Structure 1
Amino acid sequence: MAAHGISAAESRIMEAVWARGALTVDEIMAAVSAENGWGEATVRTLISRLIKKQALKSERRGGRVAYVPLLTREAYVTAESQGLLDRLFGGSMAPMVAHFTRNKVLSPDEVAKLRRLLAELDAEEDD
């Protein structure tokens, strides 16, 4: 299932459903409307788009319609990350890390974490 094509607004709907499980329109509204100022029509439009993109499906639950994710958050993050890497850095991780390092976007703690991750990758390759 492709995550490609999910807009930033649609991703807010998905985040609510991933965090809380199956939700009704009212529950989705409660989760996303306050921070975004969206009305019911906007939320319903976003849900409809996500259904067309096969990211959500509707199910009857106790006489109400609930929306359930078909796309996992992990699959979405993987696809979005790869898309970003491909678009901005030619699919290569090293130029991306170099970019963040040169622009001092990484905190010392993040640099330490990256070093640990690289050490782990080296250890896995040695096995």
Structure 2
Amino acid sequence: MKISGAESQVMDALWRQGPLTVDGVLAQVGEAHGWQVGTVKTLITRLLHKGAIEGRREPEGYRYHPLVSRADYVQGESQSLVDRLFGGEVAPLVAHFAEHRALSPKDIKLLRQLMAELPEEEGGADDE
């Protein structure tokens, strides 16, 4: 599922604070982006059509909540990025960041910890 940058702002509000009404979404993210209520309604309608959210009628109006978890969305977007730009391989992605963005000591420590926690592949072709 492709979610635009603006739509992802609505999703973030719903993941953090949901379920929310249109006014609730507007209060959470609309004002910071200069969006009017019509813009928020349009974004919500798009997300409804994509099946990313659902609305329930309540006395104060419709309340919307996500049907896609943030973790699942991030996983899909991350995999899509790696597939599109790095041929599905993570190492070139990390190399790109190491070459084009200074990795902090904290970044390096975290990467080392992550690498240490990965299971060793038995009998892999990459063993040297």
Q: TM-score, normalised by structure 2?
A: 0.90
- Is 1:125 the equivalent of 2:99? no
- Is 1:76 the equivalent of 2:55? no
Q: How far, CA to CA, are the matches of 2:67 and 2:22 in structure 1?
A: 17
The unaligned stretches of length 5 or more in structure 1 are none
Percent of counterpart pairs with the same letter? Answer: 48
Structure 1 residue runs of 4 or more that deviate by more than 4 Å after TM superposition? none
Question: Helix, strand or coil for the counterpart of 1:66?
Answer: strand
Q: How far, CA to CA, are the matches of 1:9 and 1:95 in structure 2?
A: 29
Output the aligned Cα RMSD. Answer: 1.5
- Is 1:58 the equivalent of 2:55? yes
Q: How many residues align?
A: 122
Q: Which segment drifts farther, 27-36 or 57-66?
A: 57-66
The unaligned stretches of length 5 or more in structure 2 are 123-128
Q: How far, CA to CA, are the matches of 1:16 and 1:63 in structure 2?
A: 19
Tell me which of the two structures has the higher relative contact order, counting C-alpha pairs closer than 8 angstroms and 6 or more residues apart. 1
Q: How far, CA to CA, are the matches of 1:108 and 1:115 in structure 2?
A: 11
Question: Helix, strand or coil for the counterpart of 1:38?
Answer: coil
Q: How far, CA to CA, are the matches of 1:51 and 1:126 in structure 2?
A: 42
Larger Rg: 2
**Among residues 10, 13, 18, which one is paired with 2:10 in the alignment?**
13
Q: How far, CA to CA, are the matches of 1:17 and 1:36 in structure 2?
A: 16
Q: How far, CA to CA, are the matches of 2:115 and 2:70 in structure 1?
A: 24
Q: How does 1:1-127 map to 2 (within 5 A)?
A: 4-121=1-118, 124-125=119-120
Q: How far, CA to CA, are the matches of 1:35 and 1:19 in structure 2?
A: 16
Q: TM-score, normalised by structure 1?
A: 0.90
Give how far 1:39 is off: 0.6
